Amino acid sequence: MLRLRSARTVRGGESAPFAPRCPLPKPASLPTAFGVALLGIALFSAMDAVVKGSSFAIGVYNTLLWRSVAGVVLAGALHFGRRPRWPGPAALRVHVARGSITTIMAFLFFWGLVRVPMAQAVALTFIAPLLSLALAAVLLGEHVGRRAILASLVAFAGVLVIAIGGTRGTSEPQAWEGTLAIIGSALCYAYNIVLMRRQALQADPREVAFFSHLVLTILFGLAAPWLAIVPAPAQWSPILLAALLATGSLLLLSWAYARAPASRLSASEYSGFLWASLFGWLVFGETVGLATMAGAVLIVIGCVLAARAAQAPPEAAEL
């Protein structure tokens, strides 16, 4: 999800251009690390379902506000339990920047999620890694070859297939509104990926989790005098469950990516479509249409092409 999936690839890459702040943990076997990553993504997808259900009851804003508050408590216990030093100015700037982008990203995603099926929403978010290529070219001056451009076009075709297929036969504007909101969330997540690499130089996953929740709470809290409501007792269970699932998923993914290369684990990301399809069917009775499946396949093909282009030498990438 496009939610707090912000620390997925913090430490997994073998070719990271920086020295780690502390010794890397002993590598685990690839099947073990891949299985842990799959479980982490499953928890995130379960959180999507919980947040979507809660949003129907108390709205997207209040669900995210109180989930963030609960996340501050949970992640804060993990972070301050080890008595860390307060982060320096550079780290704080990155925390605030990423937290601000995550706030917009999360609200757009879940606002759209209550308007479109879960599988369709998650399939649309797969465009984020490709959007990050364009942002890296603009913000970091990185070269983008012909293969990467082709990959982006293939994935964009997948987005069009999902968008048109998901809104066909309906006159309700909410379908298009939800689709556009999720695409906007994916754009925010693409920028989030760029910031994520910078943040990895400054903090470990526990600090990242705490400050992500904290910045979200502060920013969502700015509108609290006008929008916040105190949830009924029955609503606290799903809110706490969502915070617990998000924190648990973050820890699992951090563990996996610290023990196996990100290039070997990145395919686990696409299991999110299967989990979203499953939870959408079990919880909301949603079905997956042919357009959504076809579009998801095109987006995955585009991501694979982009990954191969990124691994190729510059001259080969231009062939």
Per-residue confidence (pLDDT) for residue 161, from 0 to 100: 80
Per-residue confidence (pLDDT) for residue 20, from 0 to 100: 45
Per-residue confidence (pLDDT) for residue 174, from 0 to 100: 79
Residue with tokens 């209550």: 114
Instruction: Measure the CA–CA gap between 110 and 105, rounded to whole angstroms.
Output: 9
Instruction: Measure the CA–CA gap between 97 and 208, rounded to whole angstroms.
Output: 12
Per-residue confidence (pLDDT) for residue 63, from 0 to 100: 96
Instruction: Measure the CA–CA gap between 257 and 265, rounded to whole angstroms.
Output: 7
Taking only the tens place, the pLDDT of each residue in 217-263 is 999 999 999 999 999 999 999 999 999 998 888 778 777 766 776 55
Tokens of 12: 């997994």
What are the residues whose beta carbons fall under 8 Å from the beta carbon of 165, sequence distance 6 or more?
289, 290, 291, 292, 294, 295
Per-residue confidence (pLDDT) for residue 90, from 0 to 100: 84
What are the residues whose beta carbons fall under 8 Å from the beta carbon of 265, sequence distance 6 or more?
12, 33, 34, 37, 256, 257
| pTM, two decimal places | 0.78
Indicate the length of the chain as a whole number: 319
3-state SS assignment for residue 15: coil
Per-residue confidence (pLDDT) for residue 17, from 0 to 100: 43
Stretch (H or E) spanning 216: helix 205-221
Count of other CB atoms within 10 angstroms of residue 146: 11
Per-residue confidence (pLDDT) for residue 113, from 0 to 100: 92
3-state SS assignment for residue 204: coil
Tokens of 281: 């069917």
Indicate the residue type of 238: P
Residues of the chain with pLDDT under 70: 1-28, 129-130, 132-137, 139-145, 148, 151-152, 166-172, 193-194, 196-201, 257-258, 261-267, 303, 306-319
3-state SS assignment for residue 171: coil
Per-residue confidence (pLDDT) for residue 169, from 0 to 100: 55
C-alpha distance from residue 287 to each of 63, 94, 280, 281, 293 (Å): 25, 40, 8, 6, 11
